[in-house]
Each structure stands twice: as C-alpha cells, then as structure tokens.
Amino acid sequence: MLARVAVALVVPVLLVACGGADATSPPDTTGTGPVTAVVSTPGNTFSPPFTTISVGSSVRFEIRGAAHNVIFSTPGAPANVNVVTNTDATRTFNTRGTFPYDCTVHPGMSGEIAVQ
C-alpha cells in the first residue's frame, strides 16, 4: 500500500519535471535562445520561402552546397548573413513586422519572415 502511494506521488512530479522545453524546437547552439524555425537552401532557393514566427523567436538559416548570403531589406531586421557555405546562422527577431530577404549571389533567390 505504501509503495502505491509513493508511486502515485512520484510519477506526477517526474512528469512535470521532465516537461522542459518544447520538444519540437531544436536547440540553438549559438546561445541566442530556442530556434523556432529553420530555413534551408536546397539549390538556389530558400525553403520554406515564407516563415511566420513570434517576436523574440529565432530562425536558423542552414546554408548548404553553394555559397549564399541572407540580406534583409527592412529596418528592424537582425544582422545580415554574409556569404557562407555549409554553415548555420541563427538570427533573432525582436521587432514585429515583415522582413523580406534575398541572396544577392543568386538573383531571384528570396524569402520572407513575418514576425507577429
């Protein structure tokens, strides 16, 4: 009987303690907080081309293959990503708005982050 009571008290505590961070958000190794969206570069496109996040959230740009950059054209956007290859670059968005961006190395390679 005492063992059942102990289990009944311990299991809810373990479930709460193990809750932690949202399991769908991969860890951010740059130390800028949790990543809430990932944008990759399959070929000469950004995927997905349109991303929506919350204020204070981050986007990890996974740049693979050819060299690319991420140049924002709107005030309030985080720092641009210089031309890189086979690198991850995380940017945190602290301002509401719509932030279009381009890879100036590849004309027509564009994307947009909506921050709500």
How does pLDDT run along the chain (116 residues), one tens digit per residue? 544 444 444 444 333 333 333 333 344 444 455 678 999 999 999 999 999 999 999 999 999 999 999 999 999 999 999 999 999 999 999 999 999 999 999 999 999 999 99
User: Element (H or E) spanning 22, and its range?
Assistant: none
Query: Mapping DSSP to helix (H, G, I), strand (E, B) and coil, where does residue 1 land?
Result: coil
Q: CA nearest 28: which of 61, 66, 65?
A: 61
The domain made up of 25-115 has a fold known as Immunoglobulin-like (2.60.40)
> How far is Cα 46 from Cα 63, in angstroms, rounded to an integer?
9
Q: pTM of the full predicted structure?
A: 0.71
Helical residues (DSSP H) of the chain, grouped into ranges: 2-17
The amino acid present at 21, given as its one-letter code, is A
